[in-house]
């Protein structure tokens, strides 16, 4: 369970970094060279998705909840916008949904 959660966290960070760097280039006047580490990060994201222990559909569905929660904290870290209680509640609901999808009992 801890391995899955850490893998989801790493996957989300790789995706967010891979999307944030081109944003810095295109919207904030950053260097075009940001595209190279962005491509590496998005490649890592795609690779990390293959390491999850369950089938792809369930992995993608559960990953969405983790991505949302990480993105809420990313705006705090990267943009200096502190999440409010509604952001945190929404992130908690998404994580709860992820836990149901990933760790709920399954019929064999």
Distance CA 27, CA 91 (A): 26
Each residue of 66-102: pLDDT tens digit?
999 999 999 999 989 999 999 999 999 999 999 999 8
| CB-based contacts of 77, cutoff 8 Å, min separation 6 | none
pTM of the full structure: 0.83
**Angle at the Cα of 58 from the Cα atoms of 53 and 62, rounded to 5 degrees:** 95
Contact 91, 83 (CB under 8 A): yes
The pLDDT score that the predictor gives to residue 88 is: 97
């Amino acid at each position: 369970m801890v391995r899955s959660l850490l893998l989801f966290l790493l996957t989300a960070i790789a995706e967010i970094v891979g999307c944030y760097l081109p944003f810095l280039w295109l919207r904030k006047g950053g260097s075009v060279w940001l595209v190279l580490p962005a491509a590496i990060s998005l490649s890592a994201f795609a690779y990390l998705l293959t390491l999850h222990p369950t089938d792809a559909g369930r992995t993608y569905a559960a990953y969405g909840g983790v991505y949302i929660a990480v993105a809420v904290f990313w705006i705090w870290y990267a943009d200096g916008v502190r999440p409010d209680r509604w952001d945190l509640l929404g992130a908690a609901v998404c994580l709860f949904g992820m836990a149901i999808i990933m760790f709920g009992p399954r019929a064999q």
